[in-house]
Each structure stands twice: as C-alpha cells, then as structure tokens.
Amino acid sequence: MKINPDKLQRYRWEFNLIMDSTINAFAMPGGKVAVLSRILSITNDAAGMAFLPGYEVAHSIANHANERLSQFLLAEFCGMVLSEALGKQSETTRQLALAAYGLGAQVGILLPYSRTHESEADRLGLIFMAMAGYNLENAIGFLERMQEIQKGQGPPEFLSTHPAPENRIEDIRKMLPEAMEYYRNE
C-alpha cells in the first residue's frame, strides 16, 4: 500500500449513527463513517464498540495508507473516533449519511472488501483501539458475538461487505502484541 498524504489531508472525518435495523457499519472514501444502530446490540458497551470505528477508518484509507500512517493522523483519529464518534449528530448529518449510504450501495462502493483489506482493517483497528487505551480483548468479544449471530440468524448484513476470513479471531490474537506496542492509557 502506498500512502498519499495529500489525499489523506483532504479527508473530512465524520462519524454518524444511523437508526436502522440491519447489523452493519460502513466507511466512505473521503472520511464518512457510519454505524447502523442495530449493531449496538452486539457491541454492548463503549469498550465493545471501540474496535469498530477505527476498523472502518482503516477501510476508508485502505487504498491510500500504509504502515507509515502518521502519528498525527492516528492521534486525531483516536480522540475523535472513540470519544465523540457517535455522541452528537444533527438531523442533517444523519440525512447526509443516509444519502451517502444509498449512493454507495448504488454505485457499488459497498462491494465486499478483499481478504487482504479485511486483514489490514483488523490490524489498524486494533492499533487505533490500543492508542485510545481500550482493552483489546473487547475486540475479540465483539467478533465472537458477531459469530454467534451468524450461527443463529445467518450472516448479518455486515458480513456481506466485510467477509470475515475463516480464522479471523485467531489471526487477530496474533496481531495483539504489535497493537499493544501502541497502547496508551492516560
């Protein structure tokens, strides 16, 4: 992956919670991230949620970012992503996000991510989570609950755009030591 700092600087990060009964979350190129409210039944609490926004951010930048993603950017994400992410949104931003979601579905932006991108998003999502001081085990808990849903009710919408690699949780466990190097708890 090649980083393109000019392109990243043009991202305008925006986080929206959309009231919707499907289990899904998505990221648009340019920085819009949305979480559909039904997924909150899987995230359970703030710590269970902590993996998701960073993971979506990672997807959003997947084509442009690489391992040299700047500290500045990371710091900015963490503050924003995890504390305020879903706190406030006006009716306008909700409508905007809904429109973006519809558009994305239409033009195929919501096509499934590749296995490589999934893996990258997992890795970066964990790193963002660690930087924000969350216990990384919560990411595993979240993914286990996602698996449970899949067993019980068939794949949630989330997995149509985020196909989970077979050994995802095992793979994530292997990523934990690296992510922990970024752990910060102030």
56 is catalytic: yes
User: Residue 81 carries which side chain, given as an amino acid letter?
Assistant: V
Min dist CB 62 to Zn ion, Å, is: 9
The residue within the footprint of Zn ion, chosen from 17, 78, 136, 162 (CB under 5 A), is: 162
Of the two residues 57 and 121, which places its CB atom closer to Zn ion in the complex?
121
Sign of the dihedral through C-alpha 119, 124, 130, 135: negative
Of the two residues 123 and 141, which places its CB atom closer to Zn ion in the complex?
123
Query: Which part of the chain contacts Zn ion (CB under 5 A), choosing from 83-91, 142-150, 159-167, 171-179?
Result: 159-167
**Is residue 168 involved in binding Zn ion (CB under 5 A)?**
no
Binding to Zn ion (CB under 5 A): which residues in 107-136? 113, 118, 121
User: Distance of CA 179 to CAs 65, 87, 102, 110, Å?
Assistant: 17, 26, 34, 27
Of the two residues 11 and 113, which places its CB atom closer to Zn ion in the complex?
113
**Site residue total, Zn ion (CB under 5 A):** 4
Given the residues 56, 118, 120, 157, select the one marked as catalytic: 56
**Cα separation, 92 vs 27, whole angstroms:** 18
156 exposure class (CB count in 10 Å sphere: 0-12, 13-18, 19+): middle
Min dist CB 118 to Zn ion, Å, is: 5
**Cα separation, 119 vs 66, whole angstroms:** 13
- Asked if 27 and 105 count as a contact pair (C-beta separation under 8 A), the reply is no
Binding site for Zn ion (CB under 5 A): 113, 118, 121, 162
